[in-house]
Amino acid sequence: MNGELLNLINLTIGLKQVLRGKDFAPNLDGFPEKFVAEAHFEFAKARLFGGKNFDSLAKWIDELRRRNLKDVKLICQTEIKDLGFVGFSNAVHHVLLTSFPKDNSGWISVWSFDAARQKWSIKYSEQYHEHTRMLNVHCKDNSADFAEILQKINDFALKIGENYWAENHFQKALECLVEPRVSDDVLPQKNQQMLEAAKKSWVFGAMGSWTDSPPYASEQKGLRADYDNLSRRLYDEILHSVLFAVNEW
């Protein structure tokens, strides 16, 4: 899955754990040392609070607690013209919403690659914008629609000779949806199944992804329109599944 989205998923789940009086789960660490060198959090110079900057997850969480954080929610950007751009950093902007007793805000991340250290630096900026109205919007369970598109795109992948994607991603994602999973003691079982299916079916990126050779294979068979339609539906259902899994528990 796209690292930027996975990072925000883990932050959202971790903060929900904090709101329930638990510690930020170590297995949800959004900053794996192997890939991320540093993370910066910049609070806005807002109506009620002065701007503050922190360079650690723990200090950021402490400040959210000090402001009496009430709720968090992940909002995903579904409108993107070319799915090929999903594989590039900062091409799609998802938002982590934070709700306080008298104010709400959203967090936007920007990733920068340090060639010398071969790791990423992440800057989170707090902003006040229209997305905060989404705090009260609930996501429905889309598991049936998700399973339907997974089956269709699986069959399509086999039809155009792209068996790898069918066998290693779409079929395995379907298994995640229908086979009970052992709970990780963080998410409810249903939410965990949908999140795992979303991760497994994430095939979008740059070279070597579903947006690389499969478009050509579908073009050769006169099925490019089917490829575009199915891929777009898959992307939408993946994000919908993520939003349900992360927000609705």
Residues 15, 112: one domain?
Answer: yes
**pTM over cut 0.75:** yes
- On whether both 11 and 129 belong to a single domain, the answer is yes
- Assess whether 128 and 169 both reside in one domain: no
123 and 155 share one domain: no
What is the structure's pLDDT at 50? Answer: 57
pLDDT at residue number 194: 94
For 101, counting Cβ atoms within 10 Å of its Cβ (0-12 exposed, 13-18 middle, 19+ buried), the class is: exposed
> CATH no. for residue 30?
3.10.450
Distance CA 169, CA 174 (A): 9
Residues 30 and 130 in one domain: yes
Question: Do 107 and 57 share a domain, yes or no?
Answer: yes
Of the residues 82, 104, 136, which one is the last residue of a structural domain?
136
- How many CA atoms does the CB half-sphere of 163 hold within 13 Å? 1
Of residues 216, 214, 206, 207, the one with CA closest to residue 170:
214
Could you tell me if 118 and 185 lie in one domain? no
Strand ordering across the sheet containing 104-114: 53-54, 36-42, 119-127, 104-114, 95-99, 71-75
Which structure tokens are listed for 157? 């992948």
pLDDT value, residue 30: 53
Are residues 24 and 9 both part of a single domain? yes
pLDDT at residue 235 in the model: 94
Claim to verify: residue 7 and residue 97 sit in the same structural domain: yes
What the block records as the tokens of 5 is 């989205």
For residues 61 and 170, membership in a common domain is answered with no
64 and 176 part of one domain:
no
**Residue where one domain finishes, among candidates 136, 167, 183:** 136
Residue 242's domain comprises: 143-247
Per-residue pLDDT of the chain (249 residues; tens, 9 = 90+): 888 888 899 899 999 999 988 877 645 445 556 788 888 999 887 655 556 788 888 899 999 999 899 999 999 877 777 787 777 777 788 899 999 888 888 999 999 998 888 888 899 999 876 656 666 677 899 999 999 999 999 999 999 999 999 999 999 999 999 886 666 678 889 999 999 999 999 999 877 889 889 999 999 999 999 999 999 999 999 999 999 999 998
- Boundary residue ending a domain (119, 136, 153): 136
Looking at the structure of the chain, the number of domains it has is 2
Q: What is the pLDDT of residue 181?
A: 65
Q: Give the Cα separation of 57 and 40 in Å (integer).
A: 8
